[in-house]
Amino acid sequence: MSLIELKSVTKVYHLGSQEIPALTDLSLTFDAGEFAVLAGPSGSGKTTALNLIGGLDRPSAGEVMVNGRNLGTASSRQLADFRLQNIGFIFQSYNLIPVLTAAENAEFTLMLQKVSKSQRRARVRKLFTDLGIDGLEERRPADLSGGQQQRVAIARAMAGNPQVILADEPTANLDSHTAEELLELMRRLNREKGTTFIFSSHDDRVISQARRVVRLEDGFLAADNKANQ
């Protein structure tokens, strides 16, 4: 059984009396351990697809199944618990909490999971070492570069040992060198830990590193290339 399955998924947003289709009859499956990118121009439905997989939104029609659970029929409380236990998010704007230190930001998911303070600190310390940002634990986001903030965001996403990490345009605000380093880092985490990574991107640097490229256009599936797997 696939880890993630989208079955004839349609998502329509409403702006007043206007209906805006974001996805139309999209069917996709992802297996555990994939390193895949949802590619396409702005407005193609990439972020909407990620939000549905991550339980941040619900489909207008069709089913979104993750590890056998139908997210469309789950309550808001069940979705929040599902996200906490199963999904790691890496946002384009990092979404770090300004008043918390880098380590506190990375520990945030673990705190919600009620992991003990000593275990939280030990896990985050190891992640910071693995990510090459050890020594930055006490800095706040404003005192970190974009690449360092993104690594803290990756540490936060990885800390809870999620089955799936979803990354929305993860290299959008980074220079070429930092972007290449982060992509290699995420490929290594994928290889060593078996974590499933799904990105959204129109960045050729990301697309060229993916082992599977799913192309969306105007909310429709345009191509699904698994040739690099």
Instruction: Write the CA distances from 216 to 60, 72, 183, integer angstroms.
Output: 18, 22, 21
Side-chain half-sphere of 196: how many Cα atoms within 13 Å?
21
Closest residue by Cα to residue 152 from 122, 107, 192? 107
Give just the sign of the alpha carbon dihedral 161, 162, 163, 165: negative
pTM: 0.90
Give just the sign of the alpha carbon dihedral 171, 173, 179, 185: negative
215: in domain: yes
159: in domain: yes
**pLDDT over 60 at 227, yes or no:** no
- Residues of the domain holding 211: 4-224
Q: Which amino acid is at 162?
A: P
182: in domain: yes
HEC profile of 77-117: HHHHHHHHHHEEEECCCCCCCCCCCHHHHHHHHHHHCCCCH
60 secondary structure, DSSP code: S
Q: What is the pLDDT of residue 229?
A: 46
Number of domains in the chain: 1
**pLDDT over 50 at 123, yes or no:** yes
Rounded Cα distance between 80 and 90, Å, is 16
229: in domain: no
- 1 band by pLDDT with thresholds 50, 70 and 90: low
CATH of residue 78: 3.40.50.300
**pLDDT over 50 at 228, yes or no:** no
- Residue-wise pLDDT for 189-221, tens only, equals 899 888 999 999 988 888 888 999 999 999 999
- 94 band by pLDDT with thresholds 50, 70 and 90: confident
**pLDDT over 80 at 151, yes or no:** yes
